Structure 1
Amino acid sequence: MDALTKWVGNVSDFLWGMPIIILLIGGGLFLTIQLGFFQFRYMPHILHQTFGKMLSKGSGDGTLTPFQATTSALASTMGAANIVGVPVAIALGGPGAIFWMWLVALIGIGTKYSEVVLGIKYREKNTAGEYVGGPMYYIKKGLGWKKVAYVFAFALMIEIIASTMVQSNSIATTIEGSFGLPPLVTGILVAVLVALVAFGGIKTIGRVTEKLIPSMVVVYIVSALIVIAFNFTEIPAAFGLIFEYAFQPLSAAGGFAGAGVAAAIRWGLARGLYSNEAGIGTAPIAHAAAVNNHPAKQGFWGVFEVIVDTLIVCTMTALVILTTGVWKVIDADNASSMVTEAYSTVFGSTVSGIIISIVLFLFVITTVVVIIYYGEKQAEFLFGTGASKVMRMVYLLAIVVGAVGGLKFVWEFLDLLLAIVVIPNVIAVLFLSGKVREVTKDYFTNFYPLERKK
């Protein structure tokens, strides 16, 4: 088993090094060029169609409102990574990593938009009368690659077992540290709460996430802004650090071990790529259920996701860390505690621990609810609707097992399975980029002039 674990680790490390970084960044650049840099040319219109229409029910066919579909997709990307991942990037790559995080997010918009467009274009109705879609559908229907579609679906279905365990363990550990609650109790509590939502199907998930996700984001951003406001004189210096050390090395200081430009680029790209899941292929599964009369309009909500997740929430985390100076005194091994330590400078250690624990708990609940839905849809695609209910029970059990740290060897397969999901999805999106371009051209030729008059 040790030999297998080591081999899996080595293969995962290789794939998630330059191969996938090149694929995701290169793919994002290719799609951005193919689409005529639409995210820059039409950003005001995209913002109007998303931020300006969050309460709109949309028009056309679908199961969820456009905003419900988006908050469902956001639920799987908004999580511990936004609070823990950014400090790790700064600890290992320096403040300059944030610049590269922003850059790759802007590039990743092209990928996320394309995935969502294809998710709508190739969706279909299941036996329950609900719209379903995602990479497995556009790989099979758009390209005719049935075997590749089945590999994608099976890999994602199994990957979610490991992912659910990791999410559950992270929150159980945090709750135990803050409140002394045993991990088993936390695991059972999380499983019960998730089950109450998951058994209601995508409509219930949509109703829950459209309330919880905005609330969580507002609570986190407001609390972060309070911390930043207490250190407002450091804001110019924080941005100065981000831009200056994106292009030059930074020497060691206090707990910070120092970082070169290569490290800033590597960790910034990794944070940007993984925080919004552009290219992973999960978002179009949620977006496929949206009520919409044109695939491009739902694609704009994919752009909205990247803006909220990476450009807003991750940036808030970075500014909290940089303006308080905790990145200089906490070493990389303890980087995950940076936000709590930064909050404690304003709110005190007890209150800051409670705020972060509650936000993380809600993030994990919504994340697990949505990824379980993703897993169910893979089982449905492969084996029918009955299999989706079986996998739901498997995922709920995985929550409890993961909370107590059981079956940790399964976690070792997480990155490898995710690579098996990402690679065929991005390749498929690139092969179908012509279809995305046709959809985009149709929207800006026939719909955009009418929307501008409204």
Structure 2
Amino acid sequence: MDSIMAAVSWVNGILWGYLLIFLLAGTGIWFSIKLNFIQVRWFKKSIQYTFGKGDGSKADGQGMSSFQSLTTAVAAQVGTGNLAGAATAIAAGGPGAIFWMWLTAFFGMGTVFAEAVLAQEYKEDINGQVRGGPAFYLSKGVGSKFLAGFFAVSIVIALGFIGNMVQANSIGAAFNNAFSIPPVATGVVVAILSGLIFRGGVSSIAAFTSRVVPFMAILYIIGSLWILVTNLPAVVAGLKMIFIGAFDPMAATGGVLGATIKEAVRYGVARGLFSNEAGMGSTPHAHAVAKVKHPAEQGAVAMFGVFFDTFIILTITALVILTVPVDGTMTGIALTQSAFSASMGSFGGVFIAVALLFFAFSTIVGWYFFGEANIRYLFRSDKAVSIYGWLVMLFVLLGCMLKVELVWELADMFNGMMVLPNLIGLLILGKVVAKRVREFEKDGSGEKDRELKEATE
């Protein structure tokens, strides 16, 4: 096991220590400039399309409403990356890692906008089921079946299997800490409940996420804000630690954590990606099935998902950890539970266990859906989808029984592998995204241009 951990850590050192930090940041900066910082210009529009301009349709084999697509995406985004991930980033990279999470998210809003637009642009109907995502725009837009296949296989492994092990691992650890329930018992229950939702298809997934995601978000925000309001002086100190730690980690903590700027950046970007998934190629699968008049509309909605995930949920988690006394030797979900317990007493551990159950379980459902879209792309078969569902349930169960360090490292490695083909596709098809934005801004919807295009094809 130690040799496997060493090998995976070495690969991650290359992927996340050098390559992906520059590629992800560079892609986000490039789209921000190319689209004239659309995350700023369209922020109001993002809120309007998220909450006020959906078509109100219900999910079926042909798609979901815009809001249901967003909640499915947010279900995947808001998971252990916000609770356990924020803790591991602070433990490994110091408080400054949160600053780099914020910066990653800001530029990532431009990236996720592009992903959602392309997912809408190149979606397909496969045996009566509308699906889309990077594999589809890599195949149809870029014209590379190799990159499409590489991405499809990578995301099935990265999220459907390994990623869902991370979610199950955190649920098992949280319930063991709070209620002394054996992780394997938790794993069995979570696997069975997941399977029941999987079998219901798109309508079941949309119904689950559209109800659970708003509830879990409000519950978590209220509990977290109560802690922060009762510790306002410490909140100011925590924010100071974040900004100082981004450029001088030793000064921010008095040398306690021993983190360097490189570690702050590495863990901030890595955990930031794992949290909001911008550029990773996962959430486009949810945005592809939204019923909208123009691809740019869903791009605007996708941006709000990244904003909500990082600037609200992840930020309040980080501030809670930094504003209350905790055991500096802890990491992962144990550190987050310790922080909440310091303010809420024994109820704090229970609160996080319940919150994590909602967060991580909804992520399992979302990531299953992302993987399922790629299984359909690869095999075009309902039988293959059924087999995939059973395998996801098995990995959920196995995830409860592994060490957290190895699970997180494996997640980082496979996430990195799926990012590469997606970024290639985004950069090649950037002109398509820019064109859709221009036509939308020209007449408010771009419907005339699209009708003309379809009539001449």
Compute the TM-score of the two structures, normalised by the length of structure 1. 0.90
Q: What's 2:327 paired with?
A: 330
Deviation at 1:410, TM superposition (A): 8.9
Q: Which amino acid aligns with 1:275?
A: S
3-state secondary structure, aligned to 1:131:
strand
**1:280–1:421 CA contact under 8 A, matched in 2:** yes
- Indicate the SS of the match to 1:125: strand
The SS at the match of 2:211 is helix
CA distance in 2, matches of 1:396, 1:87: 27
2-side partners of 1:54 and 1:182: how far apart? 43
The C-alpha deviation readout for 1:283-332, integer Å capped at 9, x for no partner, is 011111111111000011110111110011011112212232x3xx5325
2:187 aligned residue? 187
Mapped to 1, the partners of 2:105 and 2:28 lie a distance apart of 9
The answer to whether the aligner puts 1:213 opposite 2:213 as a matched pair is yes
Deviates more, 1:170-179 or 1:224-233: 170-179
Correspondence for 1:362 = 358
Structure 2 letter corresponding to 1:396: M
Q: Counterpart amino acid of 2:153?
A: F
CA shift, 1:57, in A, is 4.4
Give the aligned residue type for 2:351.
I
> By how many angstroms is 1:116 displaced?
0.7
* Counterpart Cα distance in 1 of 2:267 and 2:406: 26
Gaps of 5+ in 1: none
Q: Could you tell me how far apart the structure 2 residues matched to 1:117 and 1:148 are?
A: 19
CA distance in 2, matches of 1:364, 1:405: 16
Cα 1:62–1:4 shift into 2, 3 Å:
same
What is the one-letter code of the residue matched to 1:384? R
Change (3 A) 1:295 1:62: farther
* SS of residue matched to 1:399: helix
Deviates more, 1:11-20 or 1:50-59: 50-59
Query: 2:165–2:398: 8 Å Cα contact kept in structure 1?
Result: yes
Distance 1:259 1:401, change over 3 A: closer
8 Å contact 1:193–1:365 — kept in the other structure?
Answer: no
Q: Work out the CA distance in 2 between the residues paired with 1:316 and 1:3.
A: 36
Could you say which residue in structure 2 is the equivalent of 1:271? 271
Please give the alpha-carbon distance, in whole angstroms, between the structure 2 residues aligned to 1:74 and 1:256.
Answer: 35
Count of residues in Structure 1 that have an aligned counterpart in Structure 2: 443
CA distance in 2, matches of 1:409, 1:334: 13
Q: How is 1:78-93 mapped onto 2 (pairs within 5 angstroms)?
A: 78-93=78-93
Measure how far apart 1:339 and its partner are: 2.8
Task: Pick which of 391-400 and 414-423 moved more.
Answer: 414-423
8 Å CA contact 2:154–2:414 kept in 1: the answer is yes
* Residues 344/165 of structure 1: CA separation in 2 closer, same or farther (3 Å cut): closer
Identical amino acids, percent of aligned pairs: 37
Q: Deviations over 1:25-54 (max 9, x none)?
A: 011111111111111123222222224457
Mark the runs of 5 or more structure 2 residues left unpaired by the alignment.
448-457
Higher deviation after alignment, 264-273 or 311-320: 264-273
Which position in structure 2 is the counterpart of 1:153?
152
The aligned counterpart of 2:455 is none
Instruction: Tell me the residue number matched to 2:339.
Output: 342
1:14-413 map, 5 Å: 14-53=14-53, 56-57=56-57, 62-127=62-127, 129-159=128-158, 160-251=160-251, 256-324=256-324, 326=325, 329-334=326-331, 336-349=333-346, 351-385=347-381, 386-405=383-402, 413=410
Give, in angstroms, the shift of residue 231 of structure 1: 0.8
RMSD: 2.7
Larger mean CA deviation between 220-229 and 388-397 belongs to 388-397
Aligned AA for 2:358? L
Q: Hey, what's the Cα distance between the residues in 2 that align with 1:355 and 1:336?
A: 12
CA–CA distance in 1 between the matches of 2:269 and 2:400? 30
Change (3 A) 1:133 1:424: same
